[in-house]
A and B are shown apart, each in its own frame.
Chain A
């Protein structure tokens, strides 16, 4: 037994040696960037005119649009009590999206993008969301947060049929990190096809203030391209390996705040692990006091957390799901920390 084991061990060692001798590096040449010498990962890049995962990170309330364009989808009206009436135009539409270079997923989307536009308000604001269904199936918007049952979007009869419109109206409460998603049955299909988005409620000044930070919206999602109730592609913000190719740029010594939402369908949990860095966790963002400090956080589907950290060293910091399988199926990226400009 022992002898055989040693022999096979020796054999496998020999294999490793051979691999390093004439394997990957020789095939790729040396002209590539360091991270591209990894053989693991997606090939190529997504089309530049499609969904931009980097833009999505820092866009809320349609801030990525020109003022003209933006006014078609978002309006702010101050109210006497100092709060704001925020009006949104959201529509559901069928659209093919490129979830990994060359792979096009027949998605159901809010406003043509997955995740849907990030909605952000301050605690106590009034939200009025006009939802038009331009898709081919009944859809709805179900917001997490306090609201009256008739605004739930999930109860029988609350689905909005193709061509119809519904106005959701409620107050932003409680402060924290929430989400919205379609709640029409079959639920699994409506969610994994792409109908979800982040919903951020900032604390009102009387409650407290989160310190200034570079803020990033990160939605962990996945796609079942073969429709067998198992995901083929995993990502944060839809595009597999997007931040491997285009690292998220942060500044050393400056606070970074991540709004992390898990909407991954089919798998019970998802997680985020950040290399060489620890972060404070504000579960559901409903407190201004962190509940823990860690480098790995696990979230069930629909769970979310605000993560805060400050990078100490310049350089590249890998982050990915700590389920290796998800990481290798696209859910892996890089932070690139740069020294502050002087």
Chain B
């Protein structure tokens, strides 16, 4: 066989390039056959009703108007026939027509005198009389990107992300005076905190993924985005390490701090997204308790960022601390903006996944950092580490209760 391949040079090249094309050509022919002569119709049988799916992408409220963006998530064409608001037929306009093909979307503008603070039900009836419903739990005007709301979201981001992280960083001078055993406890505490965020982010992300239209394959999207974030940070981390190998001792702790800040920053972006969108959708009339909860909850994130620095006994400059704080906290503001103004559930899933991947990578880093080439299992089983892990988890759990 080998001989045959090597004999004719031209034939060899031909085969090499043509062989992979053969399955592709066959696939093309198959697709043409399916679309032209459609065995799908035969498989479906006679008179089967179409599969209709309609997904509410985003419902916003303007003075005197309900605006609903809907997506056909099903395989068959869906034709929107009528709209009912609170069990009343209502007139509407649709920006891209009423007949939606697979993944087609349209925006319905409904001139409805909605009532501030009350609930409304938007129901779309298709040509077959199938009804798709969306509940507006609490009707409040949807913020438009103006200075006032930009300010509000920035403030939310500051309260929830930047300030708590900065406060957490201020523990640094205290941390540097601790013994090695206490430092192990603190790093383990960090791991506990992060592990909590990992589980929390994963459960939120998977929940959001479940709400996505089937075509978006939310769970796959979540898992792959998380894996991508993990691997990317792993790559970035090793690149940074190789660059900084010649530099001063204590570099490892600094790098780890940056990586943790990045992971927490991504997580906070997802958190900001969730808060901003909840605020925009009127689902969270951001109570004081919620703000307090997030503030306490996120202060611990600052602690997590500086813990590896303290262990290395390296004194970072104030600017370096500020930089870490910004990396970890500022994304909350950006997240709140995006969530408030252009929210779509896909973004939520995507960023929660990135946060989860990043945090998983950081947890791995810290654990490796702590075990110093020794056995990870043995390191984790030491009393200060065990206590730290549990304490970290407990702190997050208790402060998490405040944000429900």
Contact = CB atoms under 8 A, between A and B. Distances in A.
Given A15-B116, A40-B90, 19 more contacts: A11-B116, A12-B115, A15-B115, A22-B64, A23-B63, A23-B64, A28-B111, A41-B91, A42-B89, A43-B82, A43-B83, A43-B92, A101-B82, A102-B79, A102-B98, A104-B127, A104-B129, A225-B130, A232-B125
B89 A24 contact: no
Contacts of A180: none
Interface in A1-19: 8, 11-12, 15, 18-19
**A-B pairs with lowest CB-CB distance, top 7:** A225-B129, A23-B64, A102-B81, A328-B88, A103-B81, A39-B111, A24-B111
A27 B81 CA distance: 20
Nearest to A15: B116
Contacts of B111: 23-24, 27-28, 39
A22 B141 CA distance: 14
Interface of B: 63-65, 79-84, 87-93, 98, 109-113, 115-117, 125-131
Interface in A223-267: 223, 225-226, 232-233, 240-241
Interface residues of A, number: 36
Given A23-B63, A24-B64, A226 B129 contact: yes
A38 B125 CA distance: 20
Interface string A294-338: 000000000000000000000000000000010011100000000
A28 B92 CA distance: 10
Contact of A18 (B63, B80, B87, B126): B63
Interface string A204-228: 0000000000000000000101100
Given A41-B89, A101-B81, A23 B130 contact: no
Interface of A: 8, 11-12, 15, 18-19, 22-24, 27-28, 38-43, 99-106, 223, 225-226, 232-233, 240-241, 325, 328-330
Residue of A11, A99, A232, A329 with most chain B CB atoms under a 10 A cut-off? A232
Nearest to A11: B116
Contact of A100 (B82, B110, B130): B82
A166 B246 CA distance: 100
A325 B91 contact: no
A100 to B, nearest CB: 6
12 contacts: A8-B117, A19-B64, A23-B113, A41-B91, A102-B80, A225-B130, A226-B130, A233-B129, A241-B89, A325-B87, A329-B89, A330-B89
Contact of B129 (A8, A11, A103): A103
B84 A329 contact: yes
Contacts of A100: 81-82, 89, 125
B212 to A, nearest CB: 23
A81 to B, nearest CB: 49
Contacts of A105: 129
A19 B127 contact: no
Contacts of B84: 232, 329
Nearest to B83: A43
A174 B116 CA distance: 56
B67 to A, nearest CB: 12
A42 B129 CA distance: 13
A12 B65 CA distance: 16
A273 B127 CA distance: 30
B63 A22 contact: yes
Given A18-B63, A19-B64, A102-B79, A41 B90 contact: yes
Contacts of B115: 12, 15
Nearest to A328: B88
Contact of B127 (A27, A42, A102, A241): A102
A333 to B, nearest CB: 13
Nearest to B84: A329
Nearest to B131: A226
A253 B302 CA distance: 85
Contacts of B110: 39
B64 A103 contact: no
